[in-house]
Structure 1
Amino acid sequence: MAITSTGYQSPATKREGLIPSVYNKIIMIGADETPMLSLIGTSPVKGIKHSWITDTIGTPKKNAQVEISDFTGDGKSTKVSLSNDTQILTTDISVSKTMQTARTYGGKELEHETTKKAKEHKLDIEYALLGLGRDADVKKSVFKASTARTDMQAGEMAGLFHYVANGATTFSGGKRGNVLAFDSTGDWKGDAAVLNETLLHQILQQIWDSGATPKDIFIGAALKPAINKLATRQFSNETALKAKVVSLDTDFGKVNFRMHRFLSSKFGLADVLIAGDFSYAKNGLFIPTTIEDVPTSKTAKQKRYYTECCLEVRNPNAFAIGVGLKSEQV
């Protein structure tokens, strides 16, 4: 009988000897540094241009029929095709032969660099999932559509904001799809509004009205005090201040508030709150993360992390993003 990836026999008690996924391994290293990547799952991608189909449930309507009624059958397809381009991400490691041998604080230099670069690699993936770094103006960058690769240009994936905007290119009436602007001008350019229970309710209501249930909310340090204020109504103030993840009861069920380092002034997203059911978002892997030796004539050992992936948002209506928000003391 042929040896397979899953089979084993006595005296073995489980399948051994397979190399574990590098992708899964790097996700476990400092998981709280990339909370979105750690929360969403993965899906296989079969090409550098990845497409998927979404569909929506119709709005409830009056439905009362006589005992013998005609068949109307006038419904039309509501399926929509969405796509994203895969992005190649690489992180290089190079350690001289001398440093491979020398004793250093923190252990062996090659192992230290390999672990450190794993963190950097997955931070780059998280950065791309949010659409950061694609324009000098972060408020343009996050909404950008994907860029197809050419021989002279790298392909770039579209981030979460692009899909949550649901095709809208500008804010109108304080909305750009499911991105809600609460600032004074309603276009993410005016003075921020204080995040309170009423505004939070509006963000979650947007998801609920779309037929999904909000389960997780990402915030940054700037908005944490506003959430602390809401949390102290359900928990002690000490508990609210210390928790990295606070679960609160809302009108839409229990939601988990999670801290995200990229939702900060450093990245231009300090006034942002991202809510949704993240089971509808996947990191589409065309080439799962690998670490490979890179041949070199130098007196050094070189390795490279390599991932080719793109964000897949299977139901954009399962998400809502609030922008133009602040805590009271800001």
Structure 2
Amino acid sequence: MAITSTGFQTPATSRVGLAPSVYDKVLLIGADETPLLTLMGQGSKVTSTKHSWITDTLAEPKKNAQLEISDFTGAKKSTKQELSNNTQIFTTEVMVSKTMQAVKTYGGKELEHEISKAAKEHKLDIEYALLGLGRDSNVKLSVFKEPTARTDSSAAEMAGLFHYVAKGVGAFSSGKRGNVLAFDSTGNWQGAATPLTENELSQILQQIWDSGATPKDVFIGATLKKAINKIATRQFGNDKAINTRVVTLETDFGKVNFRMHRFLSKKYGLDDVLIAGDFSYAKNGLLIPTTIEDVATSKTAKQKRYYTECSLEVRVPDAFAIGVGLKA
């Protein structure tokens, strides 16, 4: 009888002894450096290079008063929508010479050190893609780009979170692009930034609440953290907790966790951005979970490669809202 991943027999009471996924281990390395990926967690198994899912919305409330005997109209139509993303291949390579494997180095063995460092770099590359960064020299175009399919001569690129939160709207109108709210002077993420206060924060969270979801987490960079500190100080007084990486505030919509994100900075062109939502509605779907494999080489060195093929899945775009054009 074949040994399988699920089968067991007496005296065993469960299937044990399976090695944990490399992906699970990689998630634990430098978790605070990739907070989006860590908070989203792993999605459902992806089975195609083009990954699709169905989302739906609730109808707006309306007056509903009927006669005791009334007719069945049956006028309601389906509001389901299909969303899709392409899987993107991520690789991070390590090569250490035979000499460097043999000699003593500070910090331990060189190969193990490089493998650990590469795991962090691999995760950061995935986090970078989750935000739609690096796809255009203009960050404000890059983050909204649609997914692109692979060809024989070009790699596939998945769309990031902004693309789905924009809900298919191609440009800002009256300060909105789907659930992306622009607070700058021109209302299109091109003008002078507006100070972030309780009013702007409430508008962003209200957008999620009005859609039927509950905002639970907010990602900000170091610049906008100063504004949140001011709000926290007014709420708590002189509280040391406001200087921590995660601040929990009472809002009109319940408790919300404010989390720091390194990519929401001037370096990446996103220092004026605040991302809010219920991140249980976004997942990183895996077509090929992270593996670390030996790569054959004729060189006098040892080569290893991290490999992941995955796709961002935003199951309910209305569970998110993004504020842009903000300052402390």
Scaled to the shorter chain, the TM-score interval is: over 0.9
SS class of match (1:184): coil
SS class of match (2:162): helix
State the alpha-carbon separation in 2 of the partners of residues 133 and 203 from structure 1: 26
Q: Is the 8 A contact 1:274 1:322 kept in 2?
A: yes
1:18 corresponds in structure 2 to: 18
Q: Is the 8 A contact 1:231 1:240 kept in 2?
A: no
Aligned residue pairs, count: 327
> Aligned-pair distance for 1:308?
0.5
Letter aligned with residue 19 of structure 1: A
1:140 corresponds in structure 2 to: 141
2:68 is the alignment partner of 1:70: no
1:152 corresponds in structure 2 to: 153
Listed one character per residue, the Cα deviations across residues 167-225 of structure 1 (whole Å, up to 9, x for unaligned) are 11110000000000000000001000000000000000000111111000000000001
TM-score (norm 1): 0.96
> Aligned-pair distance for 1:16?
4.1
State the alpha-carbon separation in 2 of the partners of residues 114 and 86 from structure 1: 24
> Aligned-pair distance for 1:5?
3.0
State the alpha-carbon separation in 2 of the partners of residues 15 and 98 from structure 1: 42
1:310 corresponds in structure 2 to: 311
Q: Is the 8 A contact 1:228 1:237 kept in 2?
A: no
> Aligned-pair distance for 1:44?
1.0
Q: Is the 8 A contact 2:229 2:243 kept in 1?
A: no
Q: Is the 8 A contact 1:232 1:240 kept in 2?
A: no
1:28 corresponds in structure 2 to: 28
> Aligned-pair distance for 1:237?
3.2
> Aligned-pair distance for 1:285?
0.6
State the alpha-carbon separation in 2 of the partners of residues 153 and 251 from structure 1: 47
SS class of match (1:167): coil
1:216 corresponds in structure 2 to: 217
State the alpha-carbon separation in 2 of the partners of residues 12 and 53 from structure 1: 40
1:166 corresponds in structure 2 to: 167
> Aligned-pair distance for 1:41?
2.2
1:80 corresponds in structure 2 to: 81
Letter aligned with residue 173 of structure 1: S
1:38 corresponds in structure 2 to: 38
Q: Is the 8 A contact 1:228 1:240 kept in 2?
A: no
> Aligned-pair distance for 1:239?
2.2
State the alpha-carbon separation in 1 of the partners of residues 252 and 75 from structure 2: 36
SS class of match (2:23): helix
SS class of match (1:223): helix
1:177 corresponds in structure 2 to: 178
SS class of match (1:61): coil
SS class of match (1:312): strand
1:103–1:13 Cα change, 3 Å? farther
| RMSD of aligned alpha carbons | 1.5
Letter aligned with residue 126 of structure 2: I
Structure 1 alignment gaps of length 5 or more: none
1:238–1:9 Cα change, 3 Å? farther
> Aligned-pair distance for 1:229?
0.8
SS class of match (1:158): coil
Percent identity at matched positions? 76
Letter aligned with residue 255 of structure 1: V
1:54 corresponds in structure 2 to: 55
Letter aligned with residue 118 of structure 2: K
